[in-house]
Structure 1
Amino acid sequence: MRYTEKELIQRWDHAFEADPAEKEKFYLTVAYPYPSGAMHVGHGRTYIVPDVLARFRRMTGKQVLFPMAFHVTGTPVIGISKRIANGDKKTVGLYRDLYRVPQDILDRFVDPMEIVRYFSEEYKRVMQRCGLSIDWRRRFITVDPQYSKFIEWQYKHLHEEEHVVRGAHPVKYCPQCENPVGDHDLLEGDKAEIIKFTLVMFRLGDALIPCATLRPETTYGVTNLWVNPGTTYVRAKVDGQEWIVSPEAAEKLSLQDHEVFVLGTVPGTDLIDKTVSHPLSGEVPILPACFVDPDMGSGIVMSVPAHAPFDYIALRDLQQQGKYTGIRPVSLISVDGYGEFPAQDAVERAGITDQNDPGMEALTQEVYSAEFSRGRLHEKYGGGSVREARDAVAATMLEEHGSVVMYEFDIRQVVCRCGGRVFVRILHDQWFLEYSDPAWKAEIHDQLADMSLVPAEVRAEFDRTVDWLKDWACTRRVGLGTKLPWDPAWIIEPLSDSTIYMAYYTIAHHLREIAPEKLTPEVFDYIFLGEGAPETVDAGTLERLRTEFLYWYPYEYRFSAKDLISNHLTFQLFHHKAIFPEELQPKGMVVFGMGLLNGAKMSSSKGNVFLLEDALEEFGADTVRMFLVGSAEPWQDFDWRNELVSSTRRQIERFWNTVQEARGAEGVSAIDPWLQSRLQQRIAAATTAFESFQTRQALQEAFFGIESDLKWYRRRLPEGTTGGAVLDDLCRVWVRLLAPFIPFTCEALWNDLGESGMISFAAWPEVDEALVNPEIELSEELLARTVEDIESIKKLIPMTPESISLFVAPAWKHDVFRTVAASTDKTQVVKEVMKDEQMRKRGKEATETAKQVTKLVLKFPPKLVEQLLSTTIDERAVLEGARTFLEKEFGVPVQIRSADESDHPKASGALPFKPAIVIE
């Protein structure tokens, strides 16, 4: 019978609740979701891949814990509720039309907790529809009072160990929310980095004109400033001194520790042709340029045409109009591969016609990178490398020439979830996690060296993140979350309260039964650290909680997306190291690739998503699971395409039908031992792939590999037979191999096969060494390859064949093969072969054979070469034994002969494992 998905979900309701047991545990966690909208297929993959691995480990006999919770702290749901309350059409449309929230519920979304309640239930329901084997007893949300007590305990320790400090730092800030914001609080620009600019102060009469630069060493080569004639600038008193800047710059500066009072306006046209001065560049004119963005830096740009392609080409455009022809570039930096003026060189080599050319951005980066990495200042400007001069000149500017620092984002648009624009602000009374601490960083580098990271390439990215990580603003004034214990005017922000919750999972279901006020820091000290003797909770309960925590912790693997390496995944290492002893440190992490929809990145805010529930409804849970796991390895990007998903559904139907047809099969066939041996290889390969987190490869072996073997098996059966009892045995193994991927289908088939209990807890198949038969596998491989070669030749010849002759290689060619295959240097293999006296006697025949065999060895899969070295078969006997099969396949007489017994001109082409074929 085929159970409905609903019936199986009910059957699994409490099945995966994991308690400590007398067996080895496996604890895996995945980043908990923020339930502020409907799940799409990208979310599905995030949770289905860990589930497949959890199901595999459970079947191998491990006690598996796979928990789930919901992350709701911070301002995202507050921003959403505000936009809905304000009737924001885009937001209301998103929730009503894409997420299909019923109107009566949508009306309640003016309360952010209503959003949390609704979508956390939706997430759980959809996760259950996906067949996730989660222990739902441990579910919590991050505003639960017990969880808040846990966060307070964590921050008490961090504060006592001086990892949380108060200071002044630039942070992302939303003036509309009057709050610092983190990446999770943003609608746009979640990857924005804060960049430190130096403001170079040019004097115009009694006023200063600041120009923001990342390359202060180029100030020596400034030939002019650029202003946008279409912009109206402002005169502003900044810290008591008059500045001329764009209105946008005045607003930004007011957030960065400056007192700013706007005095009046100045049209950009009034500044053109004025002369300004600076001690490092002398007097230079102000010229017009429409490319100047008033929303970048100060809105006025200094021009270094010798070393900045945009400046060079803008000046050239003006000079080609007969204007400012007296201005000449000033060479400051020499760099290999470029002439006196690198910007001019690069522009003219690239054939750039004007400043609107789309290649200008890449060209600019090329010149800047070359100068920074290998450029040197001319001696008259101090000499030395650009890399060294940059910081030195910036320091001189700040100390001697009135420069100040200004912060900007590296991208233009950074938008809060409330809809307001985000700026860089300097906060003085903010609390920060001191990730800049060199000693703390060193501990994390050591920790990473001992961890299992999948894929291995991400190790370098983690190390880079640890190196550049700066202090992190860990508190906010508004939002949902836990108040800072020693300064309750602040709330701990979302990324900072979600760092060690994996430990909380281990006892979450028990803590729910304890009144929050009893969960003092001393209680958590005892549970997690084994310290103290708290009095608010009885000793028996405390001991049970500590015992369960120690059974599960540390976690084996954490699963999360690669874009979280730069924050959450690295933050949680810092926090674990600060709080837990060495034996409780995380063991491993698996990093996911991103999801695409028809080739484009999925984005809920842009509507480019396919809802997970729609996918489940249209294709079924097992189809969705099999596609999401089988389309790419976990760390690779995957691309959801409906037409490919449909083919996956057909594959599951084929599997279902095959198992149903094989039930109760009886009898034996000569080819049965080959199928039994191949099955052992598939079990071994799938298991190895699973243990390496290669879920796609595991599926290739467990589904497509076995399906391919069955196709050859049926082809090799004697005419009129359909297979024997081996098929029934195979299907009982096959169903278990696929159970982690398609559990709904496999639970139903397990029942149909007459097995008891749930397949979810059945034993994972193990290799039966007694059934492994290398000789028969190699024999069938030879036959299959020979059949394929015959088919290829038949396609090339116009005649209808009357006979086929196969010539197998003589023994001496097998000796050559073994020499070539065992050689470590294939360029010297002919010499190695010719060391043998018998080969020298064969002369040119032996050298030519060695060359042909070398090509063959390089073409064969390495595993096949290993098999040929370790296993010997009689090729002639194998093909003779399959003569009836070959004659049935091709409908003509087939003759098998040894090549050295024939004078046919093509017989000499016979090679080991590749007979010469003559079709006549």
Structure 2
Amino acid sequence: MSGLDMQGNERECIARWEHAFEADPAEKEKYYLTVAYPYPSGAMHVGHGRTYIVPDVLARYQRMRGKEVLFPMAFHVTGTPVIGISKRIANGDTTTIGLYRDLYRVPQDILDRFIDPMEIVRHFSEEYRRVMQKCGLSIDWRRRFITVDPQYSKFIEWQYKHLHEEEHVVRGAHPVKYCPQCENPVGDHDLLEGEKAEIIKFTLVVFSWDGARIPCATLRPETVYGVTNLWVNPDVTYVRVTLDGEEWILSREAAAKLALQDHDVRVGEEIPGTALVDGTVSHPLSGDVPVLPATFVDPDMGTGIVMSVPAHAPFDYIALRDLQQQGKYTSIRPIPLISVEGYGEVPAKDAVERAGIRDQNDPGMEALTQEVYSAEFSRGKVFEKYGGKPVREARDDVAAVMMERYGSIPMFEFDNRQVTCRCGGRVFVKILHDQWFLEYSDPCWKEQVKTQLERMALVPPEVRTEFDRTVDWLKDWACTRRVGLGTKLPWDPTWIIEPLSDSTIYMAYYTIAHHLKAIPPENLTPEVFEYIFKGEGDPTTVDRETLDTIRSEFLYWYPYDYRFSAKDLISNHLTFQLFHHRAIFPQELQPQGMVVFGMGLLNGAKMSSSKGNVFLLEDAVEEFGADTVRMFLVGSAEPWQDFDWRNELVSSTRKQIERFWNTVTEAKGATGAHDIDAWLASRLQRRIENATAALEGFQTRQALQEAFFGVEADLKWYRRRLPEGAGAGAVMQDLCRTWVRLLAPFVPFTCEALWKDVGGEGMVSFAPWPEVDEARVSPGIELAEELLARTVEDIESIMKLIPMEPASVSLFVAPAWKHEAFRIIAASADKTRVVREIMQNEEMRKRGREATDAAKQITKLVLKLPPDLVKQLEASPLDEQTVLEGAREFLEHEFGVPVKVQSAEASTHPKASGALPFKPAIVIE
């Protein structure tokens, strides 16, 4: 039974750590890491836990490496989410009330106060801090702030004064995500659904009918020459509207969207879809074409009326074919206008028929459509009579011509139409005219960010492509709103700076936040921040000594070393903060690196607080223990990989910590010495080396594999190799002192409780990280034990296949000439030519076929063995007979039969010739 008291250890450590991790400038190397601060609008779940525990493991590791480590935390509360939550609770929304009462378990008296948004902020920011402390996060809580603190607002005002003066903030008309219910632009953080939705610009191709205009939205205006018909839904009621003084016919949904996009729209009479079917419309570039019925037309997509290009749109081709198979509209033929390599004259027909598509409901249609569209755009060319240009050029040219001559206008839609605000209202695209924008489209600014990205360390390296792509496509960003919590725009206080735009350089604010709390906000003028961050000016509202102290602290910590955040923030926050750092700070203060996290799953499904698919972090800590939660979240996947929380796997993690506890506590009285002790000491140096290298590369899972599972595997073999009846040697006490430190960043509560027991002083959180003792590294001893372990494993495998009880085991070791062949093969750069290289050796040539056959077997072995092991064997051949003879007593005890070790060359046994270096031939009789 384990004596491990996890809850008791947690209570004791939380008290001891209250002020332990408060970091101040010191005469040693600093390490400053930050993580995206949370939005405290609900309880933390295990996904949040991973976000903050992984950086904590690395903070603790760097602290033990002797660095002064800053790991700060704050709470992001600006914007409209808490306002939307508060409104829904005030309005008696049962879903929201149920979420907070049942899932988040907010007491009723506190829930009643949630009609005030700041009550939500106060409650959950306190809860976040408490849960973070329960998880053992080594945070400097002196620096905590919330983003509506008046001192922080003064900092944001200073930042935006800079951006405005440098013309990075401009006024203009742009399409933005907009919630009519909130009467506000919204960002991804304000959304319940559709966080990744992008705004897409469509061209409305305007056809004429019965004195009115019928618009069709398209992303491929160049295909107008191939229109054979329009599609309308006979089950939909359309409307005749006056749009900017002209009559248009379109869906009611489209009319509402266009009214938000800078158009005067007045809805008139209704028109049944059936009244449009079989009519004729015309366009100067398409001629007269009929209107056909199609129930697949969605009134909420585009204008609710679709132009049909069956030669180049698989959906149009198959829909037309379905009608014609019913004997309808048989005179309509596809009109090809684009040639594309790999497809026939009518690409859509070719693609549909090759794929064996049955009808328009075939599930393969979506992918097939994207395939054809992509092929035509990337390598298609319009026919000479339509201009002869590549499609990628013709697209913009035709759109421009239609806008200029044929009454076309743009229309903006989401690529994903299900976009929902946190208030519960639907989000649309709206064109705002007096809005303030961050001009991320500025090519000079983009180039500066690209240059900085080239200098930064990005983990994992492959995210660099996503950053580059984001910088390239990033457009102007609406940075202000009319309502919500936040800082007022300094030069236009009718606007409030939106939440993604006020959270771009707060990493600099952390470095001085605890100092600013003592300064009245009215004294924090732009000149004060100018002096603190840039060393310029002569502010008078704060005394110079205080300013110099604050500036000195900022310069000690900045730039930050690494920022940790989720990969879904590359497209906004993580890239935004690079733009802002480039605009505000000099080169020597630019960010140094970023680590991008994977996503969290719960039993294989994406975690979502709004959908209730979460496991609360505090519940996990209560049920399994904080160290169990930490070890699982860090060890189940590398930080950049997705992880999957499963309770049954977490339970097994607790058992692993109990084994660690028991091993260390039982080792207190270990004395004496054994031959195998030197091997264990040497293996420990390898584990230190490998765990250190893994943590330097942010591979927390790999580090844990070495620091826990690797050491545990070594101990298992060590115990097995001890003489019968013997207890562990004194080496176990040395190992445990090291092991506790190796695991301290991962399971700090348990390790603090064990530290004194293994003779440590103070807190293990500040103990020196283990370093490799080269004097205790014994490659030869490790190699000998590796040979023995592999041989034991081979014997066990053979015994499982033998139906009878064995009477003896004979081991035949490979002769010297095979070891020479192994060396030649291991050193060869081209393993396909090794036989030729072997036969250049005089002794090998004498052996002829025997040598070539052996070379082939040895080559397979070399390719199968770990590369590091092959290098060792190449550099230091092992006297296998001596090693195995020395372990004969152990082998006989293991298998309960006599064991004989002999040279394969001296034996006439037919199986002896199969002996290979590091793989003796085994005969069991």
TM-score, scaled relative to structure 1: 0.99
Partner in structure 2 of residue 77 of structure 1 = 82
Please tell me whether residue 911 in structure 1 is matched to residue 920 in structure 2. no
Partner in structure 2 of residue 877 of structure 1 = 882
Partner in structure 2 of residue 373 of structure 1 = 378
Alignment of 1:647-662 (within 5 A): 647-662=652-667
For residues 744 and 777 of structure 1, the distance between their equivalents in structure 2, rounded to whole angstroms, comes to 33
- How far off is 1:751 after superposition? 2.1
Partner in structure 1 of residue 775 of structure 2 = 770
| 1:589 partner SS | strand
The amino acid of 1:504's aligned partner reads Y
**Residues 44, 617 of structure 2: 8 Å contact kept:** yes
The amino acid of 1:409's aligned partner reads F
| 2:698 partner SS | coil
1:291-316 Cα deviation digits (max 9, x unpaired): 00000111100001111111111111
**Residues 9, 750 of structure 2: 8 Å contact kept:** no
**Residues 820, 829 of structure 1: 8 Å contact kept:** yes
Partner in structure 2 of residue 101 of structure 1 = 106
The amino acid of 1:536's aligned partner reads T
Partner in structure 2 of residue 553 of structure 1 = 558
For residues 870 and 585 of structure 1, the distance between their equivalents in structure 2, rounded to whole angstroms, comes to 46
Partner in structure 1 of residue 240 of structure 2 = 235
- How far off is 1:664 after superposition? 2.9
Partner in structure 2 of residue 324 of structure 1 = 329
Alignment of 1:507-906 (within 5 A): 507-906=512-911
1:852-891 Cα deviation digits (max 9, x unpaired): 1110000001111111122232110000000000000011
Segment of structure 1 superposing worse, 190-199 or 343-352: 343-352
1:555-608 Cα deviation digits (max 9, x unpaired): 000000000000000000000010001100000000000000000000011111
| 1:625 partner SS | helix
1:810-849 Cα deviation digits (max 9, x unpaired): 1111111111111111111111111111111111111111
Measured on the aligned residues, the alpha-carbon RMSD in Å equals 0.8
For residues 541 and 769 of structure 1, the distance between their equivalents in structure 2, rounded to whole angstroms, comes to 48
1:261-288 Cα deviation digits (max 9, x unpaired): 1121111111111100011110001011
The amino acid of 1:632's aligned partner reads A
Partner in structure 2 of residue 262 of structure 1 = 267
Alignment of 1:17-166 (within 5 A): 17-166=22-171
Please tell me whether residue 172 in structure 1 is matched to residue 177 in structure 2. yes
- How far off is 1:358 after superposition? 1.6
Query: Which of 354, 361, 367 is the equivalent residue of 1:356?
Result: 361
**Residues 819, 877 of structure 2: 8 Å contact kept:** no
- How far off is 1:752 after superposition? 2.2
The amino acid of 1:812's aligned partner reads W
| 1:496 partner SS | coil
**Residues 774, 871 of structure 1: 8 Å contact kept:** no
Query: Which of 185, 197, 203 is the equivalent residue of 2:208?
Result: 203
**Residues 737, 759 of structure 2: 8 Å contact kept:** no
- How far off is 1:753 after superposition? 2.3
The amino acid of 2:216's aligned partner reads C
| 2:905 partner SS | helix
| 2:655 partner SS | helix
| 1:198 partner SS | strand
| 1:495 partner SS | coil
For residues 893 and 770 of structure 1, the distance between their equivalents in structure 2, rounded to whole angstroms, comes to 37
For residues 753 and 685 of structure 1, the distance between their equivalents in structure 2, rounded to whole angstroms, comes to 23
**Residues 775, 872 of structure 1: 8 Å contact kept:** no
For residues 788 and 757 of structure 2, the distance between their equivalents in structure 1, rounded to whole angstroms, comes to 36
- How far off is 1:761 after superposition? 0.4
Partner in structure 2 of residue 333 of structure 1 = 338
1:610-669 Cα deviation digits (max 9, x unpaired): 000110110000000000000000000000000000000000000000001101311001
For residues 464 and 369 of structure 2, the distance between their equivalents in structure 1, rounded to whole angstroms, comes to 31
For residues 203 and 911 of structure 1, the distance between their equivalents in structure 2, rounded to whole angstroms, comes to 85
The amino acid of 2:15's aligned partner reads Q
Partner in structure 2 of residue 430 of structure 1 = 435
**Residues 312, 348 of structure 2: 8 Å contact kept:** yes
For residues 808 and 388 of structure 1, the distance between their equivalents in structure 2, rounded to whole angstroms, comes to 72
Query: Which of 425, 434, 451 is the equivalent residue of 1:446?
Result: 451
**Residues 309, 334 of structure 2: 8 Å contact kept:** yes
For residues 806 and 134 of structure 2, the distance between their equivalents in structure 1, rounded to whole angstroms, comes to 57
**Percent of aligned pairs with the same amino acid:** 81
Count of residue pairs brought into register by the alignment: 920
Alignment of 1:373-452 (within 5 A): 373-452=378-457
The amino acid of 1:309's aligned partner reads P
**Residues 250, 260 of structure 1: 8 Å contact kept:** yes
**Residues 24, 63 of structure 1: 8 Å contact kept:** yes
**Residues 73, 493 of structure 1: 8 Å contact kept:** yes
Structure 1: gaps of 5 or more residues: none
| 2:500 partner SS | helix
- How far off is 1:384 after superposition? 2.1
Segment of structure 1 superposing worse, 586-595 or 203-212: 203-212
- How far off is 1:360 after superposition? 1.2
Please tell me whether residue 491 in structure 1 is matched to residue 496 in structure 2. yes
Please tell me whether residue 8 in structure 1 is matched to residue 10 in structure 2. no
- How far off is 1:89 after superposition? 1.0
**Residues 694, 700 of structure 2: 8 Å contact kept:** yes
The amino acid of 1:186's aligned partner reads L
For residues 56 and 508 of structure 1, the distance between their equivalents in structure 2, rounded to whole angstroms, comes to 25
Query: Which of 213, 220, 224 is the equivalent residue of 1:219?
Result: 224
For residues 576 and 331 of structure 1, the distance between their equivalents in structure 2, rounded to whole angstroms, comes to 51
The amino acid of 1:259's aligned partner reads D
- How far off is 1:119 after superposition? 0.2
| 1:453 partner SS | strand
- How far off is 1:206 after superposition? 1.5
For residues 871 and 664 of structure 1, the distance between their equivalents in structure 2, rounded to whole angstroms, comes to 37
For residues 604 and 627 of structure 1, the distance between their equivalents in structure 2, rounded to whole angstroms, comes to 21
